[in-house]
Every structure is written in structure tokens, then in C-alpha cells.
């Protein structure tokens, strides 16, 4: 019998059935065969060794494609599990998927793995690759599979199989003496994995992601198509880690943290200068967008948090204090306070939408393990605002907000934003009808803006669904920054009302929103995004005036004063040091512009400008520099350190 195989370019060819992906690849070219790791058959990824018995459209998956890398990484996980079982037979295997850049496998074992064990495991993995064991796909009967895995002491595997949907085919992959439940696809043999992998870290992880369950030991690894790719990745990571905001915060003297105040930041002059630049920028932008800024109390009676529902859901994470037999909470968020401001006086539908903004200082007693540099802290300031509006106004407000957010992120130099829609959680307040409408409103806004977004079912806040706007840090970790949440319930719980056109009293809808999220977190990401070399408008010190000889001191001071008068953040370095030393130091501090002042400049009334990232020196008059640099600051130009040109 012959079957028709159609290729990606539309061409097709007849083959004698059955035929395998490996044979097809071999027939096309030896290079393709060498690089093949799997085959896509009618849109489904198959093993190269699986027999194709009917007409099909196929495409060979190669080792350097995204799909191919996923197969390699998944195989690396299996090879690791095999290695672990060989070295530590008492270990139970659970799950081991491919992830971005690599893979992991979760193991259950009494004794903890040590970093030295990782080396042993990695060495054994290399052995298994060298053995080039054939990887064989087998279809098993469900009950047989369950009893087999139980019989060899793999309780977790048995549990996974028992929970698979009834119509799912149970496939088991065999490599050497190691059998693992898996959907596949896998490589034809372990040798094809080659040597582009490395075990990277050891971590704890809960069985099925639930902290009530047993904690397993997770081993992470990274895997690439070959050793060269692996090395390139490791080098990239090493470079990226140099941009870590904690390192730069210290090196650039921006802030520090210390034991006595875990999760709280001591901002130093330069860090605070950035902080203030960001905050005052946001204040101006919000004013422009029709927000009114307010300020609400830090310490508020616990009863308000009970009414809002926060005390019952987040009570453990709130800092509370008792004074004169009265219990207070240090505000963990601003919303209930904003409703109090709304509630003062009688509001009309003509007042809506009412946009109240606050740089709200919040304290949350986050679990110690979740603290992370200045990205996740216990004391932070949100660029928070609440929009009180009618249901009809939601669409326009959400749309307007998304545009606003995009323009802010663009000013800061962020072009990659991750959008997520989080919908109703199990524990929530409000009717299902309200949730339906709120979720729909957000979904529509995302689609109207033609954004690519990811759905996170059950991840919404307890009072409403939300859109999350996330950014990535230097090593690719995703952090939520902006948010837009629709809330139909809190205004009602806290007694907010307005008089409608017909004279009736109505409860407004409340939109919770933030663009930066926590200013602290945003600054952390901002520092990493620019590797500490902030664009001129954000740089804590924008200009450094450095003298070459003492004789130029007076003129240098005049220059610095003129720059300050022009609204620029300028310092002067009169130290008795060589100019090379000063240039080096201020370059390491990533100051956007160094003005070198010698006898010549003092006599001519000029400045010798050296921009960060460039070795070029440009002599111009002080006036010319103020105009040029001032414009760059005013226009919030993003400076490209590599080319010394403003970015598009």
C-alpha cells in the first residue's frame, strides 16, 4: 500500500506505508536527517520513529527550531530522570517538562540532593547520551500502567495516570531500563540529545503546585541544540546578571537594604533623584489625563478593612497596631481610603468619571521568601488611582487608560509588554452577572486595542477581574507592573453612591488602576532595562563638570551653576586628579554627560563634552550645550549608549 505525504512547500510524494519520519528525513537530505528531532504529522508532533500509515501532511522538526528545542529539552528531562533513578534508585519521579531555555524534573526523595549530586547526575546524563539508548514509544492499558508504576514504587506516576482524562491514550516511553509516562514526542535515541545541556539549580517545589502537598525536589537545567549554543546562553546570562538592579544599586550608590528593615528600602541621594524624577513625571502625566491627586492616612482603624473585606482575606499579611485599646492597620492599599474621599459630600452623575490618584505608601507583611531586591518589598508606593464611573463609561476609561500606559512605558524605553487577563477566582465577592460584565469589558478593551493577551483563569482579585501589564527583568523574569481592575462590589460595600439623572441613588463602578504599579519595582526594572545608564531625563546626575587644572575652578563652578539654573542636575568635580581618572570614575557612574574644563575652555567660555558610551569629545559653547542637552531632557530622548545617537 502506498500513501501520499505532503511537505511544507506543498509538494507531495508517494511512499510505501508504513514509513517513519526518520526515513522521510533521510530521503530528503543527510543534513536534515542529522538535524531532525521529531516530525509534525497533520499538525501533531510525532516521534521520528513512529510509523505513518495513512496520507499525511508532514514537516520535519529540526533541533534548532523552537519546537525542536522543546523536544530536546523534554528529552533532557527524561535523561535526567533516568540518571537520577540509576544513581538514587529510592527516588520517585513525578513530572519533568520543557520550559523556556531548559527543563526541570521534580523528584520525591527523603534525602536532599546536594550541589555535588548535580555534578554526578550531569555526568551520568552524559553517559546515557553516550550509550545512545533507543527511545521506544509504547501504548499501555491504563490499569496496567497504574499497577505497573505502583509495583515499582512510583506512587506519584500512578496518581498522574489515574487522573488523566478517560479518553486519553496512555503512552509510555522506554529508554534502557527506564520507563516514563509521557505524551511525547521524543528523540529516536538518547544520543541525539548531544551535549548542549547543563544542570543549573536545585529548588523545592510543591506536588501539583499546592503548598498543602508534599514538597518535592526540583532540579533545573538548560538545554540547547549544541554545546556552542549552550555556552552562548550561559554567557548571555552572565552578561545579563551584571545588570541586576541590586548590583547596580550598590555600584551606583542608589539605595541599600539592611537587616533591621527587611523589605524596606533606604534610598540614597542618587536613587531618590531617580525616584522623584519618575514620580513627578507621573504626577504631571496624570494631571494631563484628568486625574486629581489626593493623600490619605497611613494608619486606619481595622474596621474599615473589615468592611472592605481585606481584613478577612489578607489579615495575616497586614501590619497592625493596638493603641489605647483600639486596633489599627497600616494601610496595605489605598482603595478603601479613596472611597472615603468619594463619599464626602453628595456626588452627581455629572461628577463622573471621577479620577482620584494617590502616590499611596503601602505596607504589606509579605512572606519572607517572596521578598526580592526592590522588586518585591514590604513598604512601597503605588501610583494608584481609582476611577469612579458609570457602567457605560467603563469601556472608554479602560481604552483611555491603556493608551496612557503605552505612552508612559514608551517614555521609559519599554517596548515589550506582556498582557494578561485574570478572571474570577474561587474566593470572591459580587454576583456572577457582575463578574460576567466586568470580564467582558476588559476583554473587549484588550481586543479593541489589538493586543495579544494571555488568559489567567481564576487569577483575578477577590472583588473583580483585572488586566495585568507586565515587564521583564534582566534575566527574563516577568513582573507585574500596571494593572486595570473593574470592581462592581467594593463601592457598594463601602456605601459609595451618586445621584443619577433620574434622581435615584446609584452605586458607581470603581476602576482600580496603576501604571507603574509599585514605584520601587518599576525602578528596579527600569534600572535593569537601561543597565544603570538611564536616559538623560531620568539620570540622577545629568551632567558632571570636571576640571583639568585648579585654575579652571571658578569657571567650572559658573558652568555648574548655569546648568542648575537651566533646571539640570549638575555636579562639579574640582578634585586634584588627572582628567583621565575623573572621566573613568564618572563614566563608571554612567553619567550621561561629562564636561571637561581646562584652561582653554575657561578662556574661551566653552565646554568639552564627552557623552556616556562614546569616546568622542565635542567642544561647544556653554549656551549651545544647555540648549542641546536641555532639549534632550525635555523631549525625554532615549539615549543609545552604543552608537551615541538618540534612539528612534
Partner RNA sequence: GCCUGCAUAGCUCAGUAGGUAGAGCAACUGACUUGUAAUCAGUAGGUCGUUGGUUCGAUUCCGACUGCAGGCUCCA
CA angle 524, 529, 531 (to 5 degrees): 90
In 287-407, DSSP assigns E strands to 292-293, 299-301, 320-323, 326-330, 354-363, 379-389
Q: Quick one: 236 or 250, whose CB is closer to RNA?
A: 250
- All three cell numbers of 647: 534612539
Q: Give min distance, CB of 375 to RNA, in A.
A: 8
Do 296 and 339 form a contact (C-beta atoms < 8 A)?
no
- Start-to-end CA distance of the chain, whole Å, equals 61
Mark residue 397 as left, alpha or beta (left: phi above 0; alpha: psi -120 to 50; beta: remaining).
alpha
Question: Which residue lies nearer to RNA by CB, 148 or 612?
Answer: 612
Residue 338 phi, psi dihedral angles, 5° rounding: -65, -35
Beta strands in 309-461 (DSSP E): 320-323, 326-330, 354-363, 379-389, 418-422, 453-456
Q: How far is the CB of 241 from RNA (least distance, A)?
A: 9
Q: Which is nearer to RNA, 6 or 298 (CB)?
A: 298
Q: Which residue's CB is nearer to RNA, number 465 or number 540?
A: 465
Residue 481 near residue 471 (C-beta atoms within 8 A): yes
Q: How far is the CB of 25 from RNA (least distance, A)?
A: 35
* Angle CA 606–612–618, to nearest 5: 30
Residue 516, all three cell numbers: 507603574
- Nearest distance from residue 427's CB to RNA, in Å? 8
Residue closer to RNA, measured from CB, 203 or 299: 203
* Smallest gap from residue 125 Cβ to RNA (A): 19
Measured CA to CA, the distance from residue 61 to residue 481 in angstroms comes to 37
Residues that are catalytic: 335, 364, 382, 384, 386, 466, 512
Q: In angstroms, what is the minimal distance from the CB of 337 to RNA?
A: 12
Nearest by Cα to 356 from 290, 455, 411, 449: 290
Angle among Cα 456, 95, 88 to the nearest 5 degrees reads 150
Query: Which one, of 568, 564, 602, 597, lies nearest residue 582 by Cα?
Result: 597
Task: CB nearer to RNA: give 176 or 613.
Answer: 613
If phi over 0 gives left and psi between -120 and 50 gives alpha, with beta otherwise, what is residue 555? alpha
Minimal distance, residue 259 CB to RNA, in Å: 4
Cα separation, 405 vs 412, in Å, equals 11
Q: Cell 520525591 identifies what position?
A: 108
Considering the complex, state which of residue 462 and residue 639 has its C-beta at the smaller distance from RNA: 462
Amino acid at each position: 500500500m502506498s500513501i501520499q505525504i505532503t511537505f511544507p512547500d506543498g509538494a507531495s510524494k508517494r511512499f510505501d506505508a508504513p514509513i517513519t519520519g526518520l526515513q522521510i528525513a533521510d530521503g530528503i537530505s543527510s543534513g536534515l536527517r542529522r538535524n531532525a528531532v521529531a516530525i509534525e504529522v497533520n499538525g501533531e508532533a510525532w516521534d521520528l520513529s513512529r510509523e505513518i500509515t495513512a496520507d499525511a501532511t508532514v514537516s520535519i522538526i529540526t533541533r534548532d527550531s523552537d519546537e525542536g528545542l522543546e523536544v530536546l529539552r523534554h528529552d533532557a528531562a527524561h535523561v535526567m530522570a533516568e540518571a537520577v533513578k540509576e544513581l538514587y534508585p529510592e527516588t520517585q519521579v513525578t513530572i519533568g517538562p520543557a520550559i523556556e531555555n531548559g527543563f526541570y524534573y521534580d523528584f520525591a526523595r527523603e534525602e536532599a540532593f546536594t550541589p555535588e549530586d548535580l555534578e554526578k547526575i550531569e555526568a551520568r546524563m552524559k553517559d546515557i547520551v553516550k550509550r545512545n539508548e533507543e527511545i521506544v514509544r509504547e501504548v499501555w492499558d491504563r490499569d496496567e500502567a497504574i499497577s505497573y508504576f505502583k509495583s515499582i514504587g512510583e506512587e506519584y506516576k500512578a496518581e498522574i495516570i489515574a487522573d488523566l482524562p478517560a479518553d486519553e491514550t496512555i503512552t509510555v516511553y522506554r529508554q534502557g531500563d527506564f520507563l516514563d509516562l509521557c505524551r511525547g514526542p521524543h528523540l529516536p535515541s538518547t544520543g541525539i540529545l548531544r551535549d548542549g545541556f547543563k544542570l543549573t539549580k536545585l529548588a523545592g517545589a510543591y506536588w501539583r503546585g499546592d503548598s498543602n502537598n508534599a514538597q518535592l525536589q526540583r532540579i533545573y537545567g538548560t538545554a540547547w541544540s549544541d554545546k556552542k549554543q549552550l555556552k552562548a546562553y550561559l554567557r548571555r546570562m552572565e552578561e545579563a546578571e551584571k545588570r541586576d538592579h541590586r548590583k547596580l544599586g550598590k555600584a551606583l550608590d542608589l539605595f541599600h537594604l539592611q537587616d533591621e528593615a527587611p523589605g524596606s528600602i533606604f534610598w540614597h541621594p542618587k536613587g531618590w533623584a531617580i525616584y522623584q524624577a519618575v514620580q513627578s513625571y507621573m504626577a504631571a502625566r496624570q494631571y494631563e489625563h484628568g486625574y486629581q491627586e489626593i493623600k490619605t492616612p497611613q494608619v486606619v482603624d481595622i474596621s474599615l478593612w473589615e468592611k472592605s473585606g481585606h481584613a478577612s482575606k489578607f489579615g495575616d499579611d497586614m501590619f497592625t497596631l493596638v493603641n489605647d485599646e483600639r486596633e489599627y492597620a497600616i494601610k496595605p492599599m489605598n482603595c478603601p481610603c479613596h472611597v472615603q474621599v468619594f463619599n464626602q459630600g453628595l456626588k452627581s452623575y455629572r461628577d463622573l468619571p471621577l479620577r482620584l490618584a494617590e502616590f499611596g505608601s503601602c505596607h504589606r507583611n509579605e512572606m519572607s521568601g517572596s521578598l526580592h531586591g526592590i522588586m518585591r518589598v514590604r513598604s512601597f508606593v503605588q501610583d494608584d488611582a481609582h476611577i469612579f464611573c458609570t457602567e457605560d463609561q467603563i469601556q472608554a476609561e479602560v481604552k483611555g487608560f491603556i493608551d496612557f500606559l503605552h505612552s508612559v512605558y514608551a517614555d521609559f524605553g519599554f517596548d515589550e509588554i506582556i498582557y494578561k487577563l485574570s478572571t474570577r477566582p474561587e474566593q470572591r465577592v459580587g454576583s456572577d452577572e457582575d463578574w460576567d460584565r466586568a470580564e467582558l469589558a476588559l476583554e473587549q478593551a484588550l481586543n479593541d486595542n489589538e493586543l495579544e493577551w494571555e488568559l489567567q483563569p481564576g487569577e483575578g482579585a477577590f472583588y473583580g477581574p483585572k488586566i495585568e501589564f507586565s515587564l521583564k527583568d534582566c534575566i527574563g523574569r516577568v513582573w507585574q507592573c500596571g494593572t486595570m481592575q473593574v470592581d462592581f462590589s467594593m463601592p457598594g460595600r463601602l456605601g459609595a453612591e451618586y445621584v443619577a439623572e433620574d434622581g435615584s441613588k446609584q452605586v458607581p463602578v470603581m476602576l482600580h488602576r496603576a501604571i507603574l504599579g509599585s514605584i520601587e519595582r518599576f525602578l528596579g526594572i527600569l534600572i535593569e532595562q537601561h543597565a544603570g545608564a538611564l536616559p538623560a531625563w531620568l539620570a540622577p546626575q545629568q551632567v558632571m563638570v570636571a576640571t583639568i587644572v585648579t585654575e579652571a575652578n571658578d569657571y567650572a563652578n559658573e558652568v555648574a551653576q548655569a546648568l542648575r539654573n537651566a533646571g539640570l542636575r549638575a555636579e562639579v568635580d574640582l578634585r586634584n586628579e588627572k582628567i583621565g581618572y575623573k572621566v573613568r570614575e564618572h563614566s563608571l557612574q554612567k553619567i550621561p554627560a561629562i564636561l571637561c574644563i581646562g584652561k582653554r575652555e575657561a578662556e574661551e567660555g566653552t565646554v568639552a563634552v564627552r557623552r556616556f558610551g562614546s569616546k568622542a569629545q565635542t567642544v561647544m559653547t556653554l549656551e549651545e550645550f544647555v540648549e542641546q542637552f536641555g532639549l534632550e531632557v525635555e523631549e525625554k530622548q532615549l539615549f543609545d549608549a552604543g552608537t551615541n545617537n538618540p534612539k528612534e
